[in-house]
Structure 1
Amino acid sequence: MFYIANVDTDNCESGRLAVPIVIHNTGERFSNGELCTLEFQDGVSPNGDIQNDSFALFIEEVYNIPIAFPDFDLKIYNRYGSLVFDGNRNTEEFRGESNVSIRLGDDLPSGTYFYIFNPNFDNNLPIQGSFYLSR
């Protein structure tokens, strides 16, 4: 339970109002039926212009995945279902290069890629989605 109050210019505090807070885990549904999830970007363009150069896990004032979910796991697959990137808090962000298998370090071609983000935290469920890699 959180409490809010108003403090005036004379430093007098109003009565406190109790505000119940419900924190949902990823994968849970809100009372309106919407799914609690994280919004990941839908495009990566590693061209050095500082916009969407990586699959960002930290967006200032929005979220910081490595802090919120320190044991997270991020897997990225190509359209054929082959794993091309396996990341966690100790890995560089995905910048359009493979970090697994025989394609290690290779620039991946433009196209649609699929991710599974597993928070590995309490009762949070994995989040899956897709994004477009543009070269």
Structure 2
Amino acid sequence: MQYFLVKSEPFKYSWDKFNKDKRTFWDGVRNYQARNNLKEMKEGDLVLFYHSNEGKNVVGIAKVVKEFYQDPTTEDKNWVVVDLVPVQSLKNPVTLETIKADERLKNISLVKQGRLSVMQLKGEEFDRIVELGS
């Protein structure tokens, strides 16, 4: 099992919209490091859903249900998507401030590489954020 975090601006694609859709492909990634992280995702991996810009908080858990394939929004073969489904909302959204203040989370990419839209997490980092949100 691997763990990831994906970021979305709520006005573009929110956690609520994701829950209504019940499934989505994660498109629009145009950064090679983020793209490589998408390529690492395997069916069954868990993904934290983070609202960027507005809110700046982790709001839910999703699961990878289809591994990477060509991004259907572009003909450029460099870009891929994965399919995600929502699993559960966090009882309490976990703010970026809370994450930055937690000694166990100080080295995650969300803190170190704030502009990266798809990042890997260690199991203990994922578990800590979920714990903070319960």
The question of a shared fold, defined as TM-score above 0.5 by the shorter chain, is answered with no
Q: Which of the two has greater strand per residue?
A: 2
TM-score norm. by structure 1 comes to 0.25
Give the structure with higher Rg (CA): 1
Q: Which has the higher contact order (CA 8 A, sep 6+)?
A: 2
Q: Which of the two has greater helix per residue?
A: 2
